[in-house]
Amino acid sequence: MGSLPKGALFLLELGRNAVYATQTMEQKPEILAPAGDISAALAAFAAGADAVYLGLKHFSARMQAENFSSRDLSRLVDLAHEEQRRVYIAFNTLFKPYDLAAAGRLLERVNRGIGPDALIVQDLAALELARQAGYEGKIFLSTLANVTHQAALVSARNLGASRVILPRELSIDEIRLMDAARPPELDFEFFIHGALCYCVSGRCWWSSYMGGKSGLRGRCVQPCRRVYTQRGKEGRFFSCLDLSLDVLVKTLLSIPGVASWKIEGRKKGPHYVYYVTTAYRLLRDEGADPAARKEAMAILDMALGRPVTRARFLARKDDPGPVALDGQTSSGLLAGKVSRTAEGAFILKPRFPLLAKDLLRIGVEDESWHATLPVNRAVPKGGTLTLKLPRQKSPKSGTPVFLIDRREPELMQLLRHWEDRLAATAGRPEAALGAESGFSPRLPAAARPVRPLHIALRSSLPRGREGKNGIKPGSVQGLWLSPKALTGVSRTLFARISWWLPPVMWPDEEEQWQKLIHAALQNGARHFVCNEPWQNALFRPEAKAVLSAGPFCNTSNALALQALQSMGFATAFISPELSGEELLALPSQSPIPLGIVVSGYWPMGITRHSIAPLSPDEGFQSPKGEVFWARRYGQNYWIYPNWPLDLVGRLPQLEQAGYSTFVHMQEYPPQKVPEPRRASEFNWENGLM
């Protein structure tokens, strides 16, 4: 572990900020830093970030972060504006049916008392709520909104977005494809550094399906970072390294639409934020200088993240992917390993000096002895630190210990300077902040119920395994659209089939999907289910196609349904992630008829990354013995639990509530996967956090 020389933090701060006001920011992407608390936000400003993004106490996709009160945020926004910096509020969770009033009241208070530069949103309802609350600022679509292909940009712009945050799975060539199709009123944010999710953002239900803590609502418990086994092979097969584009970011400078370089890390401390922001600002402003590049890389080495990967940015065929199967993927720098004295005390002999108030992590999150603890005194390299752990925590000898946050005296002094400036900032008047909101959302009129219909959804025509999962005779056939499905269906049947589009489309395959849709329409297809709302842009008005918004759109409230109606959708399928009470409430609030998936294998998540060395033809097990399996469709792997969704017993309640279409997903596990021992009602009884 290296460290900057004493006083170097001040030199960096003064040297970089001295030229801040003279930069022409219209010609350069902004450096957008994460802020999970006040200290991280001030560290970002001290390092020269052009903008920070942060969350409130509610409705943020990082609910585990400390986040901000209205008073703190009001003062921070005013300080940022004094410095010609910007503040974006992440309002990027999924809204449940009864969230709309509270979310709208919060938005009204934000608009009146804080005045952020932009809102980052996931749920389509947020755009309408913001309008109703009087917000007239910019709205950015989160990666959780799943805007993944070119035609989607037009739909996003038409809905009112001014920026799209691109998926982390894109290559540089695909970013160029997106930029070539970008409407002029839209720009892009792209992640350049920080933690990666194994599954596509907005297409992961792993945490939710296994206990109701939804990643779409900022509650993910990260089951992907646990140990899994297959045929005796054990590993953290889905635990990603951190993304780091480092010197490769210079290639983004040639793409005019990439207006923001985004750093992930709202659960990180000020040390990480300061160092990573400083490094990327150096790479942006002085990246042509080899000495500056070398300095930036040295600074990144001190940021205390995980080991790094470029993920799919260069998209090489021999790319090993973002997972290091033989290494650790816990955040922090390895400080040493636990050993035990003859008296039974746990000690650490650090590989580098530790400072008072450093924060250590003992082990990895899913281990029983995992803990975090502060260092109470300075410890030299090779010295002895006694680890004062709770009684129930008993790590094995050799357990790794990681340094996860550092509070250097120089950084603390720098932050105190910015804290003094913040304290001198008045913020908005107390009356504006404290006034109660009488906001009540204007909801659409409910649609009339229609005759119930069942859809048996398959990837190909049945081959002797039909008639399962409670399918009623006379049900409509549903098929996932594919070249195989098009050639395997008689033209006389096209108009009678419900054609389903995938939950993710990538830029390099959009043209192929347009051709498949055109061929299906030419053969008489009429009903299509879009599993990204933005896929409506693939259909021209003259096609006379009937569009439904599929269950993978994560639709969960009345205003999102109203947005879908405005986009041309005739019906919508609600996400089965909601609780039973919430599911039963929606039909009486919906302006269009509703459907729901009631049986079959619902995926834990969808990933563009390889699942090697796991075999997709066999099951693999979690630490608790739960069985999973994977299947590849196109460029993506779908990861399934070996216990199907089953709401068939709830059909009478769903029909009475007003649902009109019921989907039975006919997906069958590989032969080597054992028969399921149970089924799941998802969050019907548990509720959704």
Predicted local confidence at residue 22, as pLDDT: 35
DSSP states along 264-329? --TTS-HHHHHHHHHHHHHHHHHTTSHHHHHHHHHHHHTS----EE-TTSS--TT---SB-TTS--
Rounded Cα–Cα distance for residues 501 and 547 (Å): 11
- Amino acid identity, residue 542? E
Q: 384 — phi, psi (to 5°)?
A: -120, 125
Q: Name the nearest CA neighbour of 589 among 607, 572, 611.
A: 572
Pairing of strands 605-607, 620-621: unpaired
Q: Find where tokens 């009631």 sit.
A: 598
Binning pLDDT at 50, 70 and 90, where does residue 319 land?
low
Predicted local confidence at residue 194, as pLDDT: 96
CA distance to 491, 498, 512, 514, 604, per residue, from 483 (Å): 14, 15, 10, 12, 25
Q: What angle do CA 279, 3, 67 make, to 5 degrees?
A: 60
Q: Name the nearest CA neighbour of 103 among 588, 443, 444, 589.
A: 443
**pLDDT-wise least confident of 67-81, 143-157, 488-502, 591-605:** 67-81
Binning pLDDT at 50, 70 and 90, where does residue 484 land?
very high
CB atoms within 10 A of CB 541: 7
Q: Quick check: 280 and 30 in contact, CB under 8 A?
A: no
Predicted local confidence at residue 6, as pLDDT: 44
pLDDT > 70 in the chain, percent: 91
Predicted local confidence at residue 71, as pLDDT: 81
What does the block give as tokens for 66? Answer: 């400390």
Predicted local confidence at residue 315, as pLDDT: 77
241-268 pLDDT per residue, tens: 999 999 999 999 999 999 999 999 998 9
Q: Name the nearest CA neighbour of 161 among 192, 116, 130, 115.
A: 130
**pLDDT-wise least confident of 100-104, 456-460, 627-631:** 456-460
Q: 498 — phi, psi (to 5°)?
A: -90, 115
Binning pLDDT at 50, 70 and 90, where does residue 27 land?
confident
- Model pTM? 0.93
Is the confidence at residue 173, as pLDDT, over 70?
A: yes
Is the confidence at residue 323, as pLDDT, over 50?
A: yes
Is the confidence at residue 405, as pLDDT, over 50?
A: yes
- Amino acid identity, residue 83? E
Give the mean model confidence (pLDDT) for residues 323-346.
86
Which SS3 state, helix, strand or coil, does residue 106 take? helix
Is the confidence at residue 293, as pLDDT, over 90?
A: yes
What does the block give as tokens for 573? Answer: 């399928």
What is the DSSP-derived secondary structure letter of residue 114?
A: T
553-582 pLDDT per residue, tens: 999 999 999 999 999 999 999 999 999 999
DSSP states along 447-501? PPP---EEEEEESS---S--S-TTPPTTPEEEEE--HHHHHTS-GGGGGGEEEE-
Q: Identify the structural domains of the chain with CATH numbers, from first to last.
A: 8-195+242-304+411-434 (3.20.20.70), 333-405 (2.40.30), 453-602+644-665 (3.20.20.70)
**Could you tell me how many residues make up the chain?**
689
Predicted local confidence at residue 689, as pLDDT: 84
Give the mean model confidence (pLDDT) for residues 481-497.
94
What does the block give as tokens for 563? Answer: 């947005």
Q: Quick check: 381 and 352 in contact, CB under 8 A?
A: yes
Predicted local confidence at residue 653, as pLDDT: 98
497-552 pLDDT per residue, tens: 999 999 999 999 999 999 999 999 999 999 999 999 999 999 998 888 999 999 99
Predicted local confidence at residue 474, as pLDDT: 62
- Amino acid identity, residue 41? A
Is the confidence at residue 461, as pLDDT, over 50?
A: yes
Predicted local confidence at residue 365, as pLDDT: 80
What does the block give as tokens for 418? Answer: 């910015």
Predicted local confidence at residue 56, as pLDDT: 86
- Amino acid identity, residue 439? F
What does the block give as tokens for 78? Answer: 């005013």
In sequence order, which residues have a C-beta less than 8 Å from that of residue 489 and are 6 or more positions away? 461, 479, 497, 523
Predicted local confidence at residue 332, as pLDDT: 87
Binning pLDDT at 50, 70 and 90, where does residue 496 land?
very high
Give the mean model confidence (pLDDT) for residues 164-173.
97
Give the mean model confidence (pLDDT) for residues 174-196.
97
- Amino acid identity, residue 648? V
Is the confidence at residue 430, as pLDDT, over 90?
A: no
DSSP states along 143-165? GGG---SHHHHHHHHHHT-SEEE
Q: Find where tokens 């959009």 sit.
A: 510
Q: Which pairs count as long-range contacts for 625-631, CB under 8 Å and 24+ apart, including other chains?
A: 626/210, 627/673, 627/674, 628/228, 628/604, 629/669, 629/670, 629/673, 631/667, 631/670
Q: Quick check: 578 and 557 in contact, CB under 8 A?
A: no
Q: Quick check: 305 and 272 in contact, CB under 8 A?
A: yes
Angle between helices 70-82 and 409-423 (to 10 degrees): 100
CB atoms within 10 A of CB 203: 26
What does the block give as tokens for 162? Answer: 């001014």
- Amino acid identity, residue 381? K
Q: Quick check: 575 and 551 in contact, CB under 8 A?
A: yes
Q: 580 — phi, psi (to 5°)?
A: -60, -45
Helix (H) or strand (E) holding 142: none
575-586 pLDDT per residue, tens: 999 999 999 999
Helix (H) or strand (E) holding 22: none
Cα-only R_g, the chain: 26
What is the average pLDDT value for the chain, to the nearest integer? 90
Q: Quick check: 403 and 360 in contact, CB under 8 A?
A: yes
Q: Find where tokens 């002094």 sit.
A: 413
CB atoms within 10 A of CB 136: 8
